[in-house]
Structures are given as structure tokens and as C-alpha cells.
Structure 1
Amino acid sequence: MHVVVLGEGLAPVLAAMWLRKLSSTVDVTLLSEEGALGHSAPLVPLYALGVLRREELYPIPQSYVSDVVRAKVVTSGYELNLRERVVRIEGEAVRFDYLIVAVEPECSVPRGLPESRVACPWRLAEAHRVREELSAASRVALVGDALMSLALARHLADRGYDCVVVVDEAASGDRDIIEEAARACSGVCLSEEVADARGAELVLCSGLRRAPMRLSELGVRTGRFGALVDGRGVTSVEGVLAVGGCAEHVESYGDPYIPVSEGVHDAECLVAAASVLRPELGLRLPRVAGCLCFELEGGYVVSVGSTAAEARRRGLDAVSVRLRRKVDGGEAVVKVVVDRRSGVVVGVHVVATGEIDLACAAHACLAAHVPLRVENLAACPQPTLLGRPLLREGLLEALRSAWYKSARLGAPR
């Protein structure tokens, strides 16, 4: 069997690694562009802002892909013919059985802003431009998803830039969480006026995207931002699967964060490889929740899945619970979003002081990804530590409050 993987970033590499792990005999060919393969999406904006060097973007060396994974890497001189299931590499025609698409999504520019001054620092192709133009700028506006903007604004403020984050209700995340996070970002101001962005020398856009043109060229049916796929990663075209930021699942929450959620991409690549090589196993992704996790000055933010407003726009009967709890060294604000009809958690959002709590982030991802009803999650006990009394953990408390609120609202009068 021969599987071709087409795309940019780390997702094609992850797909190749899972294909090799599930089969020692499958032939794998990666098609990409020079310098566009293997970079990690969460690192790209830090390169754009001058925090990281170019060579720090690649966690897995291309030599590892070629020598250990034993995948053929082609970055030029190829032509893909999907109808005939043939890829021509330097004139030689090679047949393939499956195509896995992992192309990067394209960015959308908000209305009313000049395209010449707007760039997306989350895409490597535009990150180079951002890095160059920042050297001549002093005032920077950030538009689109406000939490993604705040994740970048704190770095810009630390480097002396005058930053404004424009909060657009239709594009931004949860207002409560945004304001809590903004309080921990000194030197950054929030604005609801698009005019504040027009006066900036450079506008950085985050979280606004559209389906890549490459998907239309392949004849794949697209949705709001990517190729429509089922739980196995299969698209509308036979033998074509999609993973990474260009894959749009029937049940997807926290859409702006999906392109940078490499944990999601890794799971998608496992499922896609299993769908191609071991379909009898029936491995599926029941749902996908984008995740954004970043550090603040003395704190951190974890946002997984949908906000209440986003969930309602998707037609869900969403209810939310917001709690403030004392934690070691400070406090945490936790917000849980539940679909009252299904009783399933669709979003978890945390702003906390102290060092980043990876256990909390993992718990939030689990709660938002696994389609357990909120009462099942609320009934889970938390671990007991020897020598310490029970201190109720904030996320578990929020889940229990969300269960009570959804149950009370759904009770007959």
C-alpha cells in the first residue's frame, strides 16, 4: 500500500509517524514545499514576534522522517493527479492508494481594515513578513480572537510596543475570561472600536480563517473553515482523508484554536492512519475541541472548546457556570459550558495565577473531548493526598455547579 500525505507544518509528519507505527511495510510519501514541513504551529507566532529563531520551529528533524520513519520527502518537482491516483515525481509516475491532506488554513481579514497592513502571525508564510515589519513599527493592533491576541500582546508589550486588542463580539471568545486575562497583561489595552486598529502601523489577525483553495482544487467538500470529515477523518472524496487545521469535524468546538491544537492533530493522525491501515478496529474521533493554553505574567489561561455564545450560534441550548476559587499561590476563575439538551460539556475555560497547571489543562481537555454527560463528570471524585485535607478543585466544582444548573433549568415546573 502507498499513502501520500500532502501539507505543511507538523501534521504531515505526525501522520507519517502513525502510518509507520501501524505498519512496517506501507510506503509513505510526504509532499510539501521547501521549508514548509515540520514546523510546530504554536511556535510560529513567537518566531514572528522575534522571541524564537527560525531553527527552533522544527521539533522533529527532517532526517528523522527520512531515516527513521522511512518516509519519502518531496518538496519540489511533483505533480499530484487525484483522479488517476498518481503522483509524478521528477517525471516518474507512482501510483498511490490513499491521500491524507494536512494543508494549513488560510486567514481571513476583518472588514474595514486595509489588507496591506494586516498579517496572520500564526502562518509561517506570513510570520516572516510580520518579523520584518515589526522592526519598523511602534503601535500594533491585534484583531480576531481576543484570547489568541492576548497571548501575543503580552510578548509585544514586554518588548516595548504600544498594543491594543480589539474585542469583536462575533470573533472573540468569552468576555469574562478575556477581561480576567487582560488584567494580567500589563501594557495591553482592550478596545471595541475597529478604528483603533486602523490607526496602527501593523495589524495582527488571529483565529479568523477560511478553507484553503487546495481543498477546492481536490474537489473536497468544505464547510466553514476546512474539509468536512467524519469521525474517521474521511472526506467527501473516496480515498481522501483530512487532518490538522484543515479538517472540520461534524462536532467541533473552539474552532479558532484547532489550527494550533497539535494534540488534536496527533489524535487525528492516529485515527486517519488506523482508518487506512486497520479499518476493522473502528477507531473514531467522536468530537474535536480546539485548545489554547498560554502563560501570563504570574498566571496562565486554558481555553478548550466553545464559549456559551459560540455554542448558541451553533444551535446548542448552552448554559454556563463561572466560579472563582482560591488555589495554591492565588486564585482561579473557571467557566464551564454545557449543552443542556445532551447534558455534555462543550467548553472549559480557566484563568489562574501561579505556574501553569498541566494537570488542570489535561483535565479540561478530557472534559471537553470525551462525550460524557456532565453528571458523570460531576460524580467523579478527586484524589486524596496524604497529609492534606480535602480542598475542592475549581474545575470539578464548576462541573458540579454546571450539572446542578442544567438539571434545575430542565426540571418540570
Structure 2
Amino acid sequence: MSAPQGAAGQERSGSAHGSSARERLARAALTRVFEPGDERGGRWIREIGPVELIRRLAGTDGSALTLKGMTEPRLAGYRLRAAGADPGRDLADVAAIGGRFVCPGDREWPSQLDDLGDARPIGLWVRGRIDLRLWALRSVAVVGARACTPYGAHMAATLASGLAERGWVVVSGAAFGVDGAAHRGALAAGGATMAVLACGVDVAYPRGHAELIGRIVEQGLIVGELPPSDHPTRSRFILRNRVIAALTRGTVVVEAEYRSGSLVTARNALRLGRFTMGVPGPATSGLSAGVHELLRGEGVLVTDAAEIVELVGEIGALAPARSGPVLPRDRLDAVSARVLDALPWTGAVDGRDVARGAGTSTDEALGRLYELNSLGFVEREGGGWRLTQGRTPDEGVRRGGT
């Protein structure tokens, strides 16, 4: 395991940002050795450092067996992987596609990932011209079902475009369904989006999203824990979700069944103290059952971008007050409303009957009836009064202006 000369320039430039060249090489190698989220590996890195750890794993002096939790079978597996690691080539390969390797301690490292403790990424492989740390500071995850309904796709795209228009970065996993709709919604609004992959950042997965991933590289960021060319697995998708949860200010689940990776993201967000939100769906929809269960617990119900920003944004970023439509009758004072209530649905009555029904004097009732007539609620019929034909007591037309 040695770095080729072609990677030396990148190693030096990387060290200027925080991590030393040796540590960067060691961490790059360890992304080939440990699976994402391996807490044993994270503990060993914390205790003895990445350079010493890769030396022990690649060596034959038996010093690796002194690590707590290390067994001979486990060491054999790690050594097999370490023997095939070529971090210099990986760094050169990612640089060739315009990418980089970001390590803890680098200026670009998002410090909120440290909340994962020993399960934090060893480092992140990144494609895109944007500063990862700065984008992550103002980001929201929008996740959900792969086999989503048209409603789920619509809600994901609408939420993402609304967040993008408000200056928030939309983070998701580039999968089919809700993830893809969220990325497209943000891009359509000319906004920012970031995809966290469960494979190498040079791998377009799923293949059907190759064009979308290409657009994200051009306009946003592609991030992953796995080195170049590494493939996704079922467990890697699940482990990837903890990065999405930790990287963002909050997680929104649009559609999810009871067994869903999106709910794993939501539970990670809850455990990390992040805002966790859900978009309700039909009570009869199995694809919304997991979201509804989340909302019965600690999840917060949201229906649009403004409600999301109210939670994750700065103090005072309140969603607009919601209410039903204001009817013309709502603007009437209490006495006028009682006079209007005193009129029957059909037929006409005189002013004394109206006054009796409204509990007021005849003069007061007549004065209010003339006001109601000018507003279009009532009309004269012979010597009496009736509701305006074709209108209910809740309706009225202001005559002569507003």
C-alpha cells in the first residue's frame, strides 16, 4: 500500500487544508478496509490514529491483535482488504473526475458529522465545485419511498423547490421515487441539491439516474463514504442514511412504509437531535403508514416548505398563519348578525318580527336591515324583509364598491 508519484501533488494540497498527507493517505486506504459506520474501526482510529492503524492492519508483526475487539478472523478480513488498497490511485482517480477526499480536520469538513461519534465517516469522497461544509450548514433532507405514488413525487418536488427558493440545500440519496423527485424539484427551481450515495462517487447508481446525477455534479454536490468504483449493497444503503441525517438540519419523510430506509434516516435524525418531519398521506395508503407512525411519535407534521423552514430556520422565520376563507358574514357585528339570523330561509317578515327574533328594538332592527340591504344580504318585499334571493345567510354582495 503505497502512494504513486501522481498523487503527491494532491496529497500536498490536501494537507494544506488540515489533514497531513500521511493521514489523508491512511484515511483513504481505510475507506477500502472498513464498511461505512464500522464503530470498531472508528474507535481504533480515535485511539491510535489512522496512520498507525493502517500500519498495523497492513503489517505482519501481530500488533493489530492488541486492539480491543480485534480477533484473528476479523484481522484476516481486514488484512485482505488492506492488501488491495491503493489510496494514491484512489486519490488520483477522484481528482481526475474533478473530485476530492475530505477528511476530519479539513476546512471543508462538516463538523456536525462528528455527532455520529465512532460511527462518523472516515472521510468523504466529494464531486462538485461547491464547499461541502458551507452547503451543509443550511441543508434539509427530503427522503421517502422508491416506489412512491404520484402524490408523493409531487409533494417531494414541491417541497424541494420551495426550500430551494428560500435558499436551502436539498439533500437526498439519488434513488428512484421521492429522492429523485426532490433533487429534480430543487434543480428545476435553480436551487442547490446534494446527493449522498451508497457507492463510489464515480458510479452512477441507479443507472436510470445517470443523467440526474450528472446534473447534480454540475450544479451541486455528490458525496459518498466509499472509494472510487465501489458498488452499493443493501447494508450500505441503510448505513448511508445516518450521514444524510447527521449532515442536515432536519429530515422530511414524504412517503414510507413501516419497513423503510427513510424511517431509518428519520430515527437517526431523532437520535442526533435533528428536526424530524413527515408529510401526511391518505390514511388508507400503505406507503404513508410509516410516516403516520412517525407523526404519532416525535415527528412534526409539515405540508409545505414554509412549515419546514419555520422549524429548521432562524428565529422569526414563521410560516404564514393558516385559516379558512373569510365570508362576508364574518365581517358583520354581533347585532347585525343576530338580525340576519332572525330572517327565515323563505318568505318575508316585517321589522317587528325581525326585532323580536333578534332580541332588539324595532328601530334598531330596521336600521340594521337597511345596512344589510346595502351589503346585499336582504331585500324588501312589499312591507317586509326577506333574504336576497339566490343567496344563503352566509353570502352577500357589497353594492357600490368594496
TM-score > 0.5 by shorter chain: no
Per the normalisation by structure 1, the TM-score is: 0.26
More RCO (CA 8 Å, sep 6+): 1
Greater strand share, 1 or 2?
A: 1
Greater helix share, 1 or 2?
A: 2
Per the normalisation by structure 2, the TM-score is: 0.26
